[in-house]
Amino acid sequence: MPHVSPASPIRRPALALALASALLIAAPGLTHPGLAPPTGPQDSLHTLAASLGRPEGTATPATDNAALRAAVSPYAVRLPVDKTARHPLHGPVAIHRTVRLGSLAAPLRLVRLADPEPAPAPQRLAAAQTPVAPPPAPEPAAPVVKTLSPQTPPPPAQAATTPSAPGKSILVAGDSLSLFLADALRPLLAHRPQTAFASRGKVSSGLARPDFFNWEREMAALAATHRPDTVIVMIATNDNQTLTRPDGSKVAFGRPGWDAEYARRVRRLVELARLANPAARIHWIGAPVMGDPKLNADVAAINTVIARELATLPGTRFIDVSRTLADAAGRYTPAMPTPDGPRTTRTKDGVHLTPYGAKLLAGATLASLGPNLAALTKP
């Protein structure tokens, strides 16, 4: 048997222990105990800090909407994800599988994704303090860095509740002609208690003069109050006027730039009508033919701008009723033929409607809204 010096088995472990102690003393403290930061290029820390919009070295408090910047070995750990966290560049997450995080010279730290809430709910804090591991990945992967894509716009806001079926909550809004339309629609829907009906009309109003009547503010209030799934708008007759742009400049009716400014106002009214119900369908009833030739030409031009703008907006429709209260040639007529003889449809001013004219307009409106709303008139 070979002779073994009794000092050999002691000297070697002592040297190994001394070396390990020196490495532990030189290593920085970990913010996530139990994880050893793998070696790798330090540039990745600067890259991640820049991608999150916070300068490197900025201290960030640990909040329930923070993500841990952790240097982990492959397949070693899963970190919980706070699905409620938001960031100014919030969007689909891009995964970079080739970037390593952390090194012996760079301690681990927290990077905040959103400003902390002023007073987080106790139950949310408790949930944030209890890590919940996500489902395991289908296959092992190298350490990843999640960054936010600035090119992707944030997702649209969702309605507070699931919208009801179209035609269950109807709102009619607009100028004086909309008053006649609403009065004719109301009795047609009165026998259907499951259908909520509301209306708001203002004589001489339109989109041209918010100083007289602000339809943007009014529509926002109506949408919040009634949460309609179907909005019927009738505005045009009073809008052959000079418009004031958002920058304060003015553009006269018929001049270059008027169409663009009026289209912007149409688009804005549609947006406001959907504030409480993004799925609401918007139906804009065009102005009928007018008795005055000059006014008739003006409203025809305005109808064209409205129809062209709505054609670019999903879930909207322009309903042309120019033939509903016109003669066979499409010209203005104060009366319409019936089996019992002519019946007056327009008042003497050549603009407004008689009860019979309003009934014809209501029938054409419901028929044009589609089978779901047309069926509402049936018992």
Please write down the HEC assignment for all residues of the chain. CCCCCCCHHHHHHHHHHHHHHHHHHHCCCCCCCCCCCCCCCCHHHHHHHHHCCCCCCCCCCCCCCEEEECCCCCCCCCCCCCCCCCCCCCCCEEEECCCCCCECCECCEEEECCCCCCCCCHHHHHHHHCCCCCCCCCCCCCCCEEEECCCCCCCCCCCCCCCCCCCCEEEEEECHHHHHHHHHHHHHHCCCCCCEEEEEECCCCCCCCCCCCCHHHHHHHHHHHHCCCEEEEECCCCCCCCEECCCCCEECCCCCCHHHHHHHHHHHHHHHHCCCCCCCEEEEECCCCCCCHHHHHHHHHHHHHHHHHHCCCCCEEEECCCCCCECCCCCECCEECCCCCCEECECCCCCCECHHHHHHHHHHHHHHCCHHHHHHHCC
Q: Residue 115: its pLDDT value, please?
A: 40
Positions of the chain with pLDDT under 50: 4, 7-8, 10, 29-77, 91-101, 107-133, 135, 137-164, 378-379
Partner residues linked to 244 by β-bridges = 250
- Per the CB < 8 A criterion, the answer to whether 56 and 46 are in contact is yes
Task: For the chain, list the domains and their CATH numbers.
Answer: 36-128+140-148 (no CATH), 169-377 (3.40.50.1110)
Burial 250-287, CB ≥16 within 10 A → b, else e:
ebebeeeebbebbbebbeebbbbbbbbbeebbbbbbbb
- Per the CB < 8 A criterion, the answer to whether 221 and 215 are in contact is no
- Per the CB < 8 A criterion, the answer to whether 67 and 87 are in contact is no
Q: Residue 372: its pLDDT value, please?
A: 56
Q: Residue 279: its pLDDT value, please?
A: 94
- Per the CB < 8 A criterion, the answer to whether 359 and 184 are in contact is yes
Q: Residue 166: its pLDDT value, please?
A: 60
Q: Residue 20: its pLDDT value, please?
A: 62
Q: Residue 50: its pLDDT value, please?
A: 47
Spatial distance between the Cα atoms of 209 and 310, rounded to a whole number of angstroms: 21
Count, residues in the chain = 379
Q: Residue 108: its pLDDT value, please?
A: 46
Q: Residue 64: its pLDDT value, please?
A: 42
pTM of the model: 0.57
